[in-house]
A = this chain, B = another copy of it.
Amino acid sequence: MANDKKIKAGIIGGAGYGGGEMIRLLLNHPNVEISYVNSRSNAGNPLYAVHADLLGETELTFTGEISSDIDVLFLCLGHGEAKKFLEETEIAPAVKVIDLSQDFRLGETVKGREFVYGLPEMQREKIVTANNIANPGCFATGIQLGLLPLAKAGLLQEVHTTGITGSTGAGQSLQATSHFTWRANNISTYKVLTHQHLKEIRRSLQLLQPSFAGDVNFVPVRGDFPRGIWVTSYLQSDLSLEEAQQLYKAYYAGHPFTHVSDKQIDLKQIVNTNKCLIQLEKVGNKLVIHSIEDNLLKGASGQAVQNMNLMFGLDETAGLRLKSVVF
């Protein structure tokens, strides 16, 4: 795609965390122009009235209208609302849709639109030709990236997984567990062994390793930090550490955002980037896999842009070479 013909993008649900990150990424994307950011409750207001950090970046305003004069539409709506939106709204079939909700991750369709599960490290070829993308969940991305090479090699067994998420994973609604006084210096768990992302995880793993019948035992933890997801998984494995590292490095060799570290990793290495870092350990007969990502980027809006890049034939990293916050 020539540099002088930019992709026109629309954003639905631009006032939330995911929508805000979409705006931030697309504003700086060299091949995209934002045609509109829809938010009924904020129509007419400048984007920086809601996303105050955008003061000085753009004079764009929210709109309450929706147009099909775009190339791609990002849906940044709550779970259940994306499906409803597409059912109720006329969007021209030529407009590609990238949905950040969980509404189409398990094969659901709407008005003939079929959705490709948008995990590039697993589905790049399908994404390149897709018209609609179901963007993976944040935990689902981190956990799958830690397990895909094993699944592809048919080596998955029952997995034990802990995932610790920043508070942005819970969105911007005010609730007891999002109160600063409560959450600061605190730890708690939720949906232990029952998290909704287990469905899409299992679906992917069985696609790669149909024989896989073991549990993915997942303990989700609320961390006392805003951004990022830490995942530690372990399972029985005959692989040596070196074999496992080779397997993982080979799997991710062509993927620009997922890297295997030979050294101890820590969460802040990836905060504010679209990257996933993976570290392996072998203890006795157990293989330990740590995988980390920014839940709002690789786990949401960043991956959505990555999918868009693939769908439109752009460099996969366009607009996604982000400076980590690191400290």
Contact = CB atoms under 8 A, between A and B. Distances in A.
B53 A187 contact: no
A224 B228 CA distance: 13
A186 B326 CA distance: 10
Contact of A223 (B183, B187, B326): B187
B265 A193 contact: no
A187 B263 contact: no
A259 interface: yes
Interface in A229-275: 230, 232, 234, 256-257, 259, 261, 263-273, 275
| Count of chain copies | 4
Given A28-B321, A226-B180, A232-B192, A219 B162 contact: yes
Interface stretch (A84-92, A115-123, A170-178): A170-178
A167 B184 contact: yes
Nearest to A257: B56
Interface in A24-53: 24-25, 28, 49, 51-53
A185 B263 contact: no
Nearest to A226: B327
A175 B172 contact: no
A127 to B, nearest CB: 20
A164 interface: yes
A283 interface: yes
Given A20-B326, A24-B324, A179-B179, A185 B264 contact: no
Contact of A271 (B179, B185, B225, B283): B185
A111 interface: no
Nearest to A188: B266
Nearest to A275: B56
B188 A168 contact: no
Interface stretch (A61-69, A71-79, A131-139, A284-292): A284-292
A171 to B, nearest CB: 9
B283 A194 contact: yes
B281 A192 contact: yes
A153 interface: no
Contacts of A193: 234, 281, 283-284, 286, 288
B184 A184 contact: yes
6 contacts: A164-B187, A174-B176, A186-B267, A192-B281, A217-B234, A226-B327
Interface of A: 17, 20, 24-25, 28, 49, 51-53, 55-57, 160, 162, 164, 166-168, 172, 174-176, 178-190, 192-194, 217, 219, 221, 223-228, 230, 232, 234, 256-257, 259, 261, 263-273, 275, 277, 281, 283-284, 286, 288, 290, 292, 296, 321-327
